[in-house]
Structure 1
Amino acid sequence: MTRIMIITGGTLGDWALDEIREDDILVGSDRGALYLIQHGFQPHISMGDFDSVTSEELSLIRASSQAFIDCDPIYKDLTDTEMAFNWALEQRPSQILLVGALGTRFDHSLANVHLLRKGMAQGVPCAIMDANNLIMVIDQSTHVRRGPYTHISLLPLSLEVKGITLHGFQYPLHQATLEIGMSLGISNILLESEGLIELSSGLLLVIQSKD
Structure 2
Amino acid sequence: MRRFALLLGGPLLVTKALRERLRDLRLLAADSGGRHALALGLPLELWLGDFDSSPPWLQQILPAPKEVLPRDKDRTDGEALVRKALELGAEEVLLLGGIGGRLDHTLAHLELAFLLAEKGIRVELTDGLTRAFPLPVGFHVFPLEKGSSFSLLPFPEATLAVEGARWNLPSTPLKATTLTLENQALGPIRVRVERGRAVLYLF
TM-score, structure 1 length as denominator? 0.86
1:104 Cα shift? 2.7
Deviates more, 1:142-151 or 1:37-46: 142-151
The one-letter amino acid of 1:9's match is G
Map of 1:197 onto structure 2: 191
On the 8 A contact 1:36/1:43 being kept in 2, the answer is yes
On the 8 A contact 1:89/1:124 being kept in 2, the answer is no
Map of 1:49 onto structure 2: 50
Give the aligned length.
201
User: Which 4+ runs in 1 deviate beyond 4 A?
Assistant: none
Map of 1:185 onto structure 2: 180
Counterparts of 1:58 and 1:92 in 2: how far apart (Å)? 27
1:39 Cα shift? 4.1
Map of 2:3 onto structure 1: 3
The one-letter amino acid of 2:183's match is N
Deviates more, 1:48-57 or 1:107-116: 48-57
Per-residue CA distance 1:74-116 (angstroms, 9 max, x = gap) = x111111111111112222221000112333111111111111
Map of 1:117 onto structure 2: 114
Map of 1:135 onto structure 2: 132
TM-score, structure 2 length as denominator? 0.89
Tell me the percent identity: 25
The one-letter amino acid of 1:22's match is R
For 2:201, which of 185, 201, 207 is the aligned residue? Answer: 207
The one-letter amino acid of 2:124's match is A
Q: CA RMSD in A?
A: 2.1
Counterparts of 1:41 and 1:208 in 2: how far apart (Å)? 26
On the 8 A contact 2:133/2:201 being kept in 1, the answer is yes
Per-residue CA distance 1:136-179 (angstroms, 9 max, x = gap) = 11121100122598311111114x322x2222111011121112
On the 8 A contact 2:152/2:199 being kept in 1, the answer is yes
Structure 1, gaps ≥5 residues long: none
Deviates more, 1:144-153 or 1:35-44: 144-153
